[in-house]
Amino acid sequence: MYTETQIINNSNDELVINVGPQHPATHGVLHLVITLQGETIKKVEPHLGYIHRSIEKMCESLTYRQFICASSRMDYLSAHINNHACALTVEKGAQIEVPQRAQYIRVIMDELTRIASHELWWGAMAMDLGAFTPFFYAFREREVITEIMEETCGARLTMNYMVPGGVMTDIHPDFQKRVKEFIQLFKSKIDEYDDLVTNNIIFQNRTKGVGHLSKEDAISYGCTGAVARASGVSCDIRKLYPYDIYDKVTFNEILETAGDSFARYMIRMGEMRESIKIIEQLIDNIPEGDYQAKTKAVLKLPKGDFYTRVETARGELGVYIVSEGAATPYRIKFRSPGFSNLSALDQMARGGKIGDLMATMGTLDLVIPDIDR
């Protein structure tokens, strides 16, 4: 165990410092114990548990409709996609057929959430590296998405719009018009991001060749999402195991092979453009019909275990439900993307300089409540 602030001087001239749990660069209550030799990192040890709320245990006392809103509090930046994963698992267990209209709405909302999440990451990551203005540019466009969400779902961050069998309410009459306006706006603004950050020489020098993760390591650490795809691992659940109507839309899985921080950055920038492509294909073709399937008043899953996975903005989220046939689950397990991605931080940062650790952590896109749950 380490005390709160601990400096060890041993024979190897090693120095142990604590970053966090209250540190602006860790984006939450993450505690890193870093062993240094000079400025070179020898070891990074993440300490977790500061924001553990036992969501999995809480879910055991909630019904299958109620536990969905608890999952919004894990990865709050892609709350909508978390809810989607939970709803999919319940539908799989109870064998509910989701109407086409609901599937279209769900996927459009998912991709809007992904863009909003990546925008926040882009601003926060530039801020980690000392660039302050990009944060405002990112939030300018993100605000448009949160307003669309507010209008249709009723909330800006923890939407709770998904229910087993579809979505809670139909889309707002202005929804399609506003999303199209957003697509036009976003297409003109994303080039500004490249001017501001991507092509910036200081940014490139600080991220290229930093925090390298090989393909083998990415697989063995269980990395998913942009972290794994930057190392050349094809792992997009939307492509490999399509859910809802992802098999009907055409989009590219962005892959890079460099495996460094800049590659992870480029993956997410590319994903935002792909998300726009998906929304464009769907927004004019939302079929008429029900937005919610008729379900029983008390949802019960048959005895057995059910697992589904979705691609959130950070990687693969798996929801595992063990049911004993009652109205509440016997056990719920969430496989969160942030936990596995964080475990590879030691491998990435080892041998690098302490200044580069912040760049590496920024491109991991960590959301601490998702890691701790």
Partner 1 sequence: MFIKEYISEIAKATKSLWTGMRLTGHYFVRPKTVITQQYPDNRDTLKMADRFRGEVIMPHDADNLHACTGCTACELACPNATIKVITKFELTPENKKKKALDTFVYHLDMCTLCGLCVDACPTGAIQMGQNFEHSVYDRSTLTKKLNKPGSKIREGVE
The single residue among 38, 49, 130, 154 that binds partner 1, judged by CB under 8 A, is 154
Q: According to the binding rule CB under 8 A, does residue 54 interact with partner 1?
A: no
Structure tokens at 142: 């993100």
Tell me the closest approach of the beta carbon of residue 321 to partner 1, in angstroms: 17
Contact flag: residue 160 with partner 1 (CB under 8 A):
yes
What is the smallest separation between the CB atom of 183 and partner 1, expressed in angstroms? 18
Token pair 């448009």 in the structure block, residue: 144
Specify which residues 41 forms β-bridges with: 36
User: Per CB under 8 A, does 155 bind partner 1?
Assistant: yes
The footprint of partner 1 on residues 162-181 (CB under 8 A) is 163, 168-169, 172
- Figure out which of the listed residues 39, 143, 181, 324 binds partner 1, where binding follows CB under 8 A: 143
Q: According to the binding rule CB under 8 A, does residue 133 interact with partner 1?
A: yes
Candidates 202, 257, 326, 355; binder of partner 1 (CB under 8 A) is 202
Residue 196 as a binder of partner 1 (CB under 8 A): the answer is yes
Residue 132 or 284: the one with the smaller Cβ distance to partner 1 is 132
As beta bridge partners, residue 15 has 36
Rounded-to-integer distance, Cα 277 and Cα 265, Å: 19
Asked whether position 152 contacts partner 1 by CB under 8 A, the answer is: yes
The answer to whether 47 contacts partner 1 (rule: CB under 8 A) is no
CB-nearer residue toward partner 1: 18 or 158: 158
Distance of closest approach, residue 81 Cβ to partner 1, in angstroms: 17
The single residue among 199, 214, 234, 257 that binds partner 1, judged by CB under 8 A, is: 199
- Return the H-helix or E-strand segment holding 54: none
What are phi and psi for residue 242, nearest 5 degrees?
-60, 135
Relative orientation angle of helices 175-193 and 100-128, to the nearest 10 degrees: 30
Q: Say how many residues touch partner 1, by CB under 8 A.
A: 30
CB neighbourhood size of 164 (10 A): 24
Closest CA to 356 of 21, 25, 29, 111: 25
Starting at the edge strand found earlier in the chain, the sheet holding 316-323 runs 304-311, 316-323, 331-335
- Candidate segments 32-40, 193-201, 254-262, 317-325, binder of partner 1 by CB under 8 A: 193-201
What character string, x for contact with partner 1 (CB under 8 A) and - otherwise, covers 55-74?
A: -------x--xxx-xx----
Q: Quick check: helix, strand or coil at residue 167? A: strand
Separation CA 351–CA 73 (nearest Å) = 35
- Rounded to the nearest 10°, the torsion over CA 119, 120, 121, 126 is 90
- State how far the alpha carbon of 9 is from the alpha carbons of 12, 19, 170, 234, 267, in Å: 8, 18, 63, 44, 41
List contacts with partner 1 (CB under 8 A): 62, 65-67, 69-70, 133, 140, 143, 147, 150-155, 158, 160, 163, 168-169, 172, 192, 195-197, 199-202
